[in-house]
Structure 1
Amino acid sequence: MADTMFDGFDHTKYRAEVEERWGRSAYADSDRWWRALDEGERGAWQRHVTELSKDWSEAAERGIDPASMEAQDLAARHVDWLRSVPGTPASKLGGDLAAYVLGLADMYVADPRFAANYATSKGGSVGSEFVRDALRIYVEAGL
């Protein structure tokens, strides 16, 4: 996991990608939310995400079963975090939360920008595959 995963992060450079994948309102809503946060709130959010990523990586490092209670608790925390970001399908009542979570889970493995957040000493995509598998089980169990 990159300890500085959000240092200097400029979300605006991904605008076109976000709008293409999830629509203009998804980008606009999340951009408005992010800009409304003060420095302390942004820092707290970043620390929360860093801790979640660290916990995923540590669990993957230990080789726990993605179906285990520990992994499923991480999946629940992850989905709660996704729900907290305005503009995402996870934040909207009636949105297709399951498809959104499954799509992101696959992206965590397929896109090295995401996979880096769940790195382990085992290398490769072991960490992101663990996150994907745990999230899939969580969604299949009924979210």
Structure 2
Amino acid sequence: MEWTIHQVARATGTTSRTLRHYDRIGLLAPSRVGPGGYRHYDDAALRRYQRILLLRELGLGLAAIAGVLDERTDEVDALRAHADSLEEESARLARLARAVRETVRRTEQGEELDVTTSFEGFDASRYEDEVVQRWGRDAHERAQRTWRELGEAGRAAHGAEADAIGRGFAAAAARAAAPGGEAVQDLARRHHAWVSAFWVPGAEAYRQLTATYVDDERFRATYEAYGPGTAVLLRDAAEVLARRELA
């Protein structure tokens, strides 16, 4: 049995454009291409696509996923390993939810937080290797130190500013504002200042950082949650700011 590209897209909540992109980069080829260029997917292709989606859920980028899929491992063993990883993540998220509910309860009742329970499920080291590789050990340690020193009120204010910046860029994207316009550049300056609370990036580092907001699916999803085009406008505005004021 085969499924058309439109059937697969509907069933998986993705788009035909994404499936065609996966074909172009060699990640997921259709089982055959019919008349008119319509792609069809058989059981083997769907199994491979399920593994792609599983690996994306685990936070891997497309290049890393391709590497995993190209390994000569038994498919059942690989799926079993994926299932184990997902169950571990599910348990971690359950602990995280319990911690947040406990914080809500303590806040409502005017109680102090209990450090032994309030941070259960959080794992700030999950992305440490990635951060160190991209920006260096010193940048990571300075950011961690600053985050601790901010205190609860400072961290809340920092998060509120991030939300305000995201909403500002989303509104600008909705009205098709130009990246170099003054209102958008004001948002870019606020974003650079927001980042600089932990680490002050120069022009090239700022370009690289904001490029990840589009290129990395995790970051893109965060910004696109504010509205379509938010991540791209932020990146493009950062490029203008880097060229005009940070170079």
User: Normalising by the residue count of structure 1, what TM-score does the alignment of the two structures yield?
Assistant: 0.78
Q: Hey, what does 2:230 align to over in structure 1?
A: 127
Cα drift, residue 72 of structure 1: 1.1
Deviations 1:18-53 (A, max 9, x none): 111111121111111112222122111111111111
1:38 and 2:143 matched: no
Q: How does 1:8-19 map to 2 (within 5 A)?
A: 10-19=123-132
Aligned mate of 1:22, from 135, 146, 169: 135
Cα drift, residue 55 of structure 1: 0.8
The change in CA–CA distance for 1:83 and 1:104 in structure 2 (over 3 A counts) is: same
The change in CA–CA distance for 1:128 and 1:99 in structure 2 (over 3 A counts) is: same
Cα drift, residue 89 of structure 1: 4.3
1:116 and 2:229 matched: no
The amino acid across from 1:27 in the alignment is H
Moved over 6 A (4+): none
Residue 134 of structure 2 aligns to a residue in which SS? Answer: helix
Q: Hey, what does 2:86 align to over in structure 1?
A: none
2:214/2:231 contact within 8 Å kept = yes
The gaps in structure 2 that reach 5 residues or longer are: 1-99, 101-120
Q: How does 1:56-67 map to 2 (within 5 A)?
A: 56-67=169-180
Distance 2:173 2:217 in 1: 17
The amino acid across from 1:23 in the alignment is G
The amino acid across from 1:117 in the alignment is T
Q: Percent identity?
A: 33
Cα drift, residue 11 of structure 1: 3.2
Q: How many residues align?
A: 126
Aligned mate of 1:104, from 180, 194, 209: 209
The gaps in structure 1 that reach 5 residues or longer are: 1-6, 91-96
Q: Hey, what does 1:82 align to over in structure 2?
A: 195
Larger Rg: 2
Residue 42 of structure 1 aligns to a residue in which SS? Answer: helix
Distance 1:27 1:121 in 2: 29
User: Normalising by the residue count of structure 2, what TM-score does the alignment of the two structures yield?
Assistant: 0.47
The change in CA–CA distance for 1:13 and 1:81 in structure 2 (over 3 A counts) is: same
Q: CA RMSD, aligned part only?
A: 2.0
